[in-house]
Amino acid sequence: MAKSNIYFGTDTEDAIFEWLKATTQAERDMIFTEHIYPVFHLMADKLVHKFKFYPPGIPHEEICSNIVTHLYERGLPKLDQQLGKAYSYCTRCTINYILAKRQEYYTKSIDKADVIEIDKARNVYNEMHQKMYQDDLSIFIDLWVAWYDAHIYELYEKEKHIKIVDAVLEIFRSREGIEVFQKKLLYILIRERAKCSTSEITPIVKQVRAHFADMYKTYKAENKIALYNYH
């Protein structure tokens, strides 16, 4: 199963959309303070640690508060319930804010560095950028697996195809525990779990791969998990 986000549950999702519907500032402040702020602060804390965002001279608590303020002022007002889960949207907003601020601090440090230090910083930044991409992709995979799990019976009618897709999803679910990602070995894992031949597996895997690519493109552009025209 996909990783759960217990701290950001349906009650927080509901509170966010109630906040958007509120007609007075007093009502919004009450909803945000009691139901949204604690979750946003915890999410900010987790993502700051995950992306190792520690600009010198700025206390950790101030960084988290700045992120929450950004979500309140810039993120939430742009949230559209039709674009997907609030968790996905708010996570992406927070990550984008952290990436932008890291780039800002990186640029400032480069302006003050000599040539040798610039070369070192470039190497560190490239490594950092690659890590951020991997983390962002990991978040998408968790959300994508959960979405695919929920829609598998809408996407596929044959029981054999459903078993193949479930076997593919299981690889994504347990990806951190798989040491070798050779194509032939992955096909063996799928074949063993689905009890199907390679010739039966291949067309379904190609379809799932196409869905993955399309949905990741949508996720990057629109901050939502969706597959268009899948009926």
**pLDDT tens per residue across span 185-204:** 788 888 888 888 888 999 99
Q: What is the dihedral of CA 166, 172, 176, 177, to 10 degrees?
A: 30
Averaged over 19-36, what is the pLDDT?
91
Show Cβ contacts of residue 136 under 8 Å, excluding neighbours closer than 6 positions: 95
Q: Specify the pLDDT at position 130.
A: 60
Q: Are 147 and 225 in contact (CB under 8 A)?
A: yes
Whether the pLDDT of residue 125 is over 80: the answer is: no
d(CA 143, CA 219): 10
Q: Are 97 and 223 in contact (CB under 8 A)?
A: no
Name the residue with higher pLDDT: 2 or 153.
153
Averaged over 73-99, what is the pLDDT?
83
pLDDT tier at 51, thresholds 50, 70, 90? confident
Q: Specify the pLDDT at position 16.
A: 93
Q: Specify the pLDDT at position 4.
A: 46
